[in-house]
């Protein structure tokens, strides 16, 4: 028999997930011969075009790295001056650079390089004090990279450091997901396995190097052409990248090993760029408030605003920042990956085929949707068919179901509604978003009661956390709400309000800004003042440990309901 029969346990697990017996679990089924296996699109790991897109904010270019072209007087028998001394003297003489040092790997090739180009060379200098590259002749292009390491996805932005422009963007999955979905399970993996940290570290370093190869290919340069990288990520990702055990991040009082920013040669981390390229790791605040949130902060600059802002960075963990130039407080809450499209029956990451937005007609409950890869809503000529639903689509779906009264404020399905889009899967109701004919799956794409529950848990945590922060800060009203996160698309702010993702705020004062963490990394890449701002905001901002706030649990339970609608 090519395939072992369905086990009892397997059948139960499948039913729980609303899957029929055409599905098998890889952990249960045993192969005894040739079998054709179809891996559901949504669970494939290959080439997920995760759009961790950044809004390119206008940023003054004040980069850490500059190139200088020099022509040196060769040494003579009368003055057999060392090559390094000639070079440093010329850079001081012509460009006023003082106290320059030469990074060691550059030294090894210096003499051959200078002699190969008749003493004409282009010198790359980092932070006005270290020579990190010497190239023969005249070279003008200069590249940098910003990386955002998410628990689930890793995004890279390859930039022209001269103009500050983003030349190429790419997102890939964080291969660490194989060792745990969220940071707690990753931390557990490192403590339960003697080589756990090394394994997770190797996984993320390899992912970053894959990303680099892909990004540089897009614009036809080599990885060695990149002279600096800035990196953000939550504190667990941060520690694991640095090969620092995250063990204590999961133990009271959740203190990190290091919080200040780090400048470290990318070669030390195993990141394959120019041999002397610097990796600037942005600072972290606390065990659960990482460099990703710091990236959001320097992108949004609440410390420069009078308005009281609530910034919500939605990922597998949600981070909250509340305040203005007077005071800033912050918190982190485990919200699950539902809003990233994971733990959802037909959830998927933002990739071609993902339903990223949808609307439900309140009368006939007909659904219109937009699929990533198609220019327009619904089914345009030669359309890309739907494969699943990504985070922004899930928010729309649940909000639209609330507005159309398909689900009640409690999250239960409204039993009074009758529609052929409503299914009952062994007592678990589902609502059909896309008919089988509109998909590549050969089956309907639905939103199940389980999916609604996942969304409720996520938005409840964020809402309750926000209320705790508002009380701490002594405000009852939000002047502005900023929704950040690596969504497939910017989330529909009205629908976020409908869900009760955050306390009330005027709709025109709610902004959806995409991956602000990555944008912060990009801004720090092209402007060193932003690195200073990051250090300062880490000192300024206060962190509230929600698990130590007795009120949080009550608020959370209350916040599971959807708010009353006044539309």
Tell me which of 65, 155, 286, 358 binds its own copies, using CB under 8 A: 286
Residue 102 in contact with its own copies, rule: CB under 8 A:
yes
Q: Is residue 70 close enough to count as binding its own copies by CB under 8 A? A: no
CB contact set of 563 (below 8 Å; sequence gap of 6+): 409, 498, 500
Binding span for its own copies by CB under 8 A among 69-77, 143-151, 314-322, 443-451? 69-77
Q: Does 550 bind its own copies (CB under 8 A)?
A: no
Supply the minimum distance, in Å, between the C-beta of residue 235 and its own copies: 9
Q: Give CA–CA dist 213/174, Å, rounded.
A: 16
Residues between 152 and 191 that touch its own copies (CB under 8 A):
none
- Verify binding: residue 110, its own copies, rule CB under 8 A: yes
- Omega cis (within 30) before 253: yes
**Single residue of 117, 188, 214, 243 touching its own copies by CB under 8 A:** 243
- Give the residue, chosen from 30, 93, 108, 129, that forms a contact with its own copies under the rule CB under 8 A: 108
Q: Is 61 in the site for its own copies (CB under 8 A)?
A: no
Among positions 75-94, residues that touch its own copies (CB under 8 A) are 75-85
Q: Choose, by CB under 8 A, the member of 126, 157, 189, 254 that binds its own copies.
A: 254
The two three-digit tokens of residue 434, written as one number: 């896309």
Q: Work out whether 293 is an interface residue with its own copies (CB under 8 A).
A: no
Question: Cα–Cα distance between 469 and 464 in angstroms, integer?
Answer: 9
In the complex, least distance from residue 449 CB atom to its own copies, rounded to whole angstroms: 37
Is 253 near its own copies (CB under 8 A)? yes
Among 14, 154, 242, 510, binds its own copies (CB under 8 A): 242
Rounded CA-CA distance 94/49 in Å is: 46
Q: Which two tokens stand for residue 232?
A: 């953000």
Query: By CB under 8 A, which span of 109-117, 133-141, 179-187, 467-475 interacts with its own copies?
Result: 109-117
Counting Cα atoms < 13 Å in the Cβ hemisphere of 87 gives 29
SS3 of residue 244 by DSSP = coil
Q: Taking CB under 8 A as the rule, does residue 553 contact its own copies?
A: no
Q: Which stretch binds its own copies (CB under 8 A): 165-173, 279-287, 308-316, 349-357?
A: 279-287
**Which of 2, 4, 94, 104 is close enough to bind its own copies by CB under 8 A?**
104
In order, the DSSP letters of 495-562 are HHHHHTSSS---GGGEEEEE-HHHHHHHHHHHBHHHHHHHHHHHHH-EE--GGG-HHHHHHHHHHTSP
Are 353 and 386 within 8 A, CB to CB? Answer: yes
Contact flag: residue 107 with its own copies (CB under 8 A): yes
- C-beta of 104: minimal distance to its own copies in Å? 6
Burial (Cβ within 10 Å: 0-12, 13-18, ≥19) of residue 126: buried
Asked if 298 contacts 530 with a C-beta cutoff of 8 angstroms, the reply is: yes
264 binds its own copies, rule: CB under 8 A: yes
**377 forms part of the interface with its own copies (CB under 8 A):** no
Q: Which of residues 425-484 bind its own copies (CB under 8 A)?
A: none
**Beta carbons within 8 Å of 504's beta carbon, 6+ residues apart:** 477, 478, 497
Q: How far apart are the first and last CA of the chain?
A: 59
Q: Applying CB under 8 A, which residues contact its own copies? A: 75-85, 102, 104, 107-108, 110-112, 115, 242-245, 247-248, 252-260, 262, 264, 268, 284, 286-287, 543, 545, 548
């Amino acid at each position: 028999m090519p395939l072992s029969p369905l086990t009892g346990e397997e059948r139960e697990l499948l039913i729980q997930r609303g899957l029929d017996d055409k599905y098998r679990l890889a952990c249960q089924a045993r192969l005894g011969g040739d079998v054709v296996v179809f891996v559901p699109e949504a669970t494939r790991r290959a080439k997920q075009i995760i759009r961790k897109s950044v809004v390119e904010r206008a940023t003054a270019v004040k980069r850490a790295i500059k190139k200088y072209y020099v022509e040196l007087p060769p040494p003579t028998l009368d003055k057999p001056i060392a090559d390094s001394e000639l070079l440093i003297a010329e850079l001081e003489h012509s460009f006023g650079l003082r106290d320059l040092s030469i990074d060691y790997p550059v030294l090894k090739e210096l003499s051959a390089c200078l002699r190969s180009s008749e003493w004409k060379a282009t010198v790359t200098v980092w932070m006005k004090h270290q020579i990190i590259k010497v190239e023969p002749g005249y070279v003008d292009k200069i590249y940098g990279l910003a990386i955002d390491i998410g628990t689930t996805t890793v995004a890279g932005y390859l930039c022209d450091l001269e103009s500050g422009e983003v030349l190429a963007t790419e997102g890939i999955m964080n291969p660490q997901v194989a060792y745990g979905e969220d940071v707690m399970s990753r931390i557990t993996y490192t403590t339960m396995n003697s080589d756990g940290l090394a394994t997770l570290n190797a996984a993320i370093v390899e992912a970053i190097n894959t990303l680099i190869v892909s990004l540089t290919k897009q614009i036809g340069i080599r990885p060695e052409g990149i002279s600096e990288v800035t990196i953000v990520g939550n504190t667990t990702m941060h520690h694991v990248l640095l090969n620092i055990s995250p063990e204590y991040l999961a133990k009271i009082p959740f203190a990190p090993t290091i919080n200040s920013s780090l400048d470290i040669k990318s070669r030390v981390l195993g990141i394959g760029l120019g041999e002397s390229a610097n990796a600037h790791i942005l600072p972290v605040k606390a065990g659960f408030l990482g460099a990703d949130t710091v990236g959001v902060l320097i992108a949004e600059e609440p410390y420069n605003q009078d308005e009281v802002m609530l910034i919500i960075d939605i990922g597998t963990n949600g981070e909250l920042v509340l305040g203005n130039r007077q005071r800033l407080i912050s918190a982190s809450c485990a919200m699950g990956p539902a809003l990233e499209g994971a733990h959802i029956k037909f959830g998927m990451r933002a990739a071609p085929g993902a339903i990223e937005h949808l609307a439900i007609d309140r009368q006939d409950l007909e659904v219109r949707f937009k699929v990533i890869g198609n220019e327009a809503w619904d089914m345009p000529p030669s359309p890309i068919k739907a494969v699943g639903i990504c985070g922004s689509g899930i928010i729309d779906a649940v909000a639209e179901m609330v507005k159309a009264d398909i689900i009640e404020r409690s999250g239960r399905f409204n039993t009074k509604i009758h529609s052929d889009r409503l299914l009952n899967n062994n007592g678990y109701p589902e609502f059909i978003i896309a008919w089988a004919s509109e998909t590549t799956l050969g089956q309907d794409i639905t939103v199940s009661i389980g999916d609604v529950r996942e969304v409720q848990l996520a938005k409840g945590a964020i809402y309750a956390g926000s209320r705790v922060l508002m009380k701490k800060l002594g405000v009852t009203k939000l002047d502005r709400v900023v929704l950040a996160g690596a969504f497939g698309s910017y989330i529909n702010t009205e629908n976020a309000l409908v869900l009760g993702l955050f306390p009330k705020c005027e709709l025109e004062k709610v902004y959806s800004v995409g991956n602000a963490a990555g944008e912060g990394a990009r801004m720090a890449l092209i402007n060193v003042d932003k690195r200073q701002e990051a250090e300062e905001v880490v000192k300024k901002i206060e962190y509230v440990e929600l698990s130590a706030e007795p009120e949080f649990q009550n608020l959370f339970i209350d916040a599971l309901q959807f708010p009353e609608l006044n539309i």
